[in-house]
Amino acid sequence: MKRLVLAALLMAAPVQAEPLRLAAAGSLRAALSEVATAFAASPGGVPVTETYAPSGLLRQRIASGEGFDLFASANMAHPQALAETRRMPVVLFARNRLCALARPELEVTPQTLLARMLDPAIRLGTSTPRADPAGDYAFALFARAEAVRPGARAALEAKALTLTGGPDSARPPAGRDLYAWQFERGAADLFLTYCTNAVLALRADPRLQRVEVPEALAVFADYGMLLLEPRAEAARLALFILSPQGQMILDRHGFDAPGLPKER
């Protein structure tokens, strides 16, 4: 049904030459930049102007009237809040999960991750809740930790350093990876972020450690997409992201792509 709505827009909306305006979560930058390039080169495609920022801050900008054609969020809640006034469905197009990044010399494994996070000497970094879903997911992990070790939730929430994703968060120099830079400047010993961000951080600094979150603490992220304007090209871009070609790009960048056929 959701794809039929998008297809109907393709039939009804006039073709426009202006570039599409995409607002997307920062964790999607590498993947959707590749998607945008492929879409522009495809039949019926047009250039895409890309804006990447924390999803909660983008939601605020859209609600305040800033013009975008398509919103790709790192959660379902932000686009769903906007969808209430637009009569358009929110479409699940990708999934992610949390991993931990650790400074090179820190002794930590998946089995000791919770103990290391609780260690008073360890600086634990997260993104900013409400402004950035990555921060909300980190605090959801803290809630899961309560069932493993009573008192862990309050202790982790109290010590967490919200270093990224907020309107006033420090920004790295141009061309530097945001998460690798946190360790370079000595802001954190451990950092909870998306596994896709961990991949990029290790490319920037291979000395860093990626630590998988154990099953008891695991938190998964659903990514939702909302068409903001009834433009044929915007509907085409949304369908392109949902197509096997778009889903394969997301898969290559470490996302779980729900639109890919399952191996039999």
DSSP string, 182-221: HHHTT--SEEEEEHHHHHHHHHH-TTSEEEEPPGGG--EE
264 occurs within a structural domain: no
Residues 158 and 82 in one domain: no
Residues 212 and 227 in one domain: no
Mean of all residue pLDDT scores within the chain: 93
Model pTM above 0.85: yes
Please tell me the predicted confidence (pLDDT) of residue 196. Answer: 98
262 occurs within a structural domain: no
Please tell me the predicted confidence (pLDDT) of residue 13. Answer: 46
Q: How far apart are CA 30 and CA 250, in angstroms?
A: 9
Nearest 5°: phi and psi at 67? -85, 120
pLDDT band at 37 (very low <50, low <70, confident <90, very high): very high
How much of the chain is helix, strand and coil, in % rounded to 5?
40, 20, 35
The domain total for the chain is 2
| Residue 16 scores a pLDDT above 70 | no
Would you call 155 helix, strand, or coil by DSSP?
A: helix
Residues 83 and 119 in one domain: no
- E strand segments, the chain: 20-25, 48-53, 70-73, 91-102, 124-127, 161-164, 190-194, 209-212, 220-227
| Predicted confidence (pLDDT) per residue in 75-114, tens digit | 999 999 999 888 889 999 999 999 999 999 999 999 999 9
CB 213 within 8 A of CB 191: no
Q: How far apart are CA 235 and CA 93, in angstroms?
A: 14
Residues 44 and 143 in one domain: no
Residues 151 and 167 in one domain: yes
Residues 112 and 89 in one domain: no
Residues 90 and 101 in one domain: no
CB 161 within 8 A of CB 126: yes
| Predicted confidence (pLDDT) per residue in 148-199, tens digit | 999 999 999 999 999 999 999 999 999 999 999 999 999 999 999 999 999 9
Nearest 5°: phi and psi at 134? -60, -35
Residues 213 and 230 in one domain: no
Place of tokens 């000497």: 121
Q: How far apart are CA 94 and CA 255, in angstroms?
A: 6
Residues 127 and 176 in one domain: yes
Residues 183 and 236 in one domain: no
Residues 103 and 205 in one domain: yes
Q: Which domain holds residue 229?
A: 2-95+221-252
221 DSSP β-pair partners: 96
Residue 134 sits in a domain of what CATH number? 3.40.190.10
258 occurs within a structural domain: no
Please tell me the predicted confidence (pLDDT) of residue 2. Answer: 53
CA 94 → CA 45, 69, 243, 252, distances in Å?
A: 21, 19, 12, 12
263 occurs within a structural domain: no
Range scoring the smallest mean pLDDT among 3-12, 73-82, 112-121, 220-229: 3-12
Residues 110 and 73 in one domain: no
